[in-house]
Structures are given as structure tokens and as C-alpha cells.
Amino acid sequence: MSDILCMYYSRTGNTKTAMQELAAALDAELVELRDGVNRSGVTGFLRSGMDAMRRTVETLQPIETEKPLTNYKLVILGTPVWAGRCSSAVRSFLQEQGHLLTDVSYVLLRGGNAKYEEIYDQMDKYLSQPHQTAVSLRAGSVGYHFWQEEFLRRTRAFLEGRECQN
């Protein structure tokens, strides 16, 4: 049973792929967030952008984890960037469960060149303390693997430091 939980929402599969890679590298449990909303195609793309701009929250489908959220050393949340914000599914999760999380890291998947690091602050508003590590990745970009490895390095360093404190 892992002490790390990777949770994500993915509309196109880019966030899912990134989170699968990170979960495998960290030997972490992997859980997908689902809101039951059809977000496929152009209509789904437009709806997702509008939901992000309006900060819409959707009711999430039930999630199953191996243990309670409070028992993980680290929860890594993966989200696509929609209109300069996190996905509505991740926002819903943070509003519902964010208060239970003590150590959180973020993985953003973006389509453009901007890193959207201000999203970290938007997501931190739902937590009792700021995130530990974060990365903004662009699928298919030259720097994708470099920044992914840097995130893994910083995450492992955080986890090693936490283990020394316990």
C-alpha cells in the first residue's frame, strides 16, 4: 500500500498520461476524478472553458482510495489548465476534500507556452497550508521530460525530509 496518492482529472488524456508516468516513478496509488459531464469534442472544450471561467463546481462521482485521504504522506493533484484555471473537477475535489489534505503537490498540464503558475495559488485557497511541490508541463514540448524529472527530484527530496521528521 502506497503512502503517495496521485489524483487527476483529464479531458484529452494528456493529464492522465503524465499522472500515470509520475505514479509509476513514485510507486504511488493512482485515482481518476470524474464528474460525469460529457466534455468530448468542441462542445466539451467550450463547456470546460466556460466552467473554468465561471468557477463552476460539479458533483464528483465517488472515488475509492486504498486508505483515508488523511493517511497519505503526499497527495499529488493533476489537472489540465482551462482558461487560466484548474479544471472544475479538481476545483470540486478541493472544495469538498481540500481541508483533509496536509501535504499536497500539483501537476498542471497546459496547451500553451504560459506556465500558469498562478493556478497554484488558486488551488492553495482550498487547503489548510500551501502546496509542497508543483510543476507546469506542456505535453509534447522539448522541456516536458526535464521538468517532469525535476518535479520528481523535488518531490522525493520533500518525502525524504518528511520521513526524517517522523
SS (H, E, C) the chain: CCCEEEEECCCCCHHHHHHHHHHHHHCCEEEECCCCCCCCHHHHHHHHHHHHHCCCCCCCCCCCCCCCHHHCCEEEEEEEEECCEECHHHHHHHHHHHHHCCCEEEEEEECCCCCCCHHHHHHHCCCCCCCCCEEEEECCCCCHHHHHHHHHHHHHHHHHHHHHHC
- The mean pLDDT value for 60-81 works out to 92
Q: Which residue has 521528521 as its cell numbers?
A: 165
For 59, what's the count of Cα atoms within 13 Å in the CB-facing half-sphere? 1
pLDDT band at 45 (very low <50, low <70, confident <90, very high): low
Give the model confidence (pLDDT) of 83-107 as tens digits.
888 888 999 999 999 999 999 999 9
End-to-end CA distance of the chain: 19
pLDDT band at 42 (very low <50, low <70, confident <90, very high): confident
pTM: 0.88
Q: Is the pLDDT of residue 113 over 60?
A: yes
Query: What domains can be seen in the chain, in order of their start residue?
Result: 4-161 (3.40.50.360)
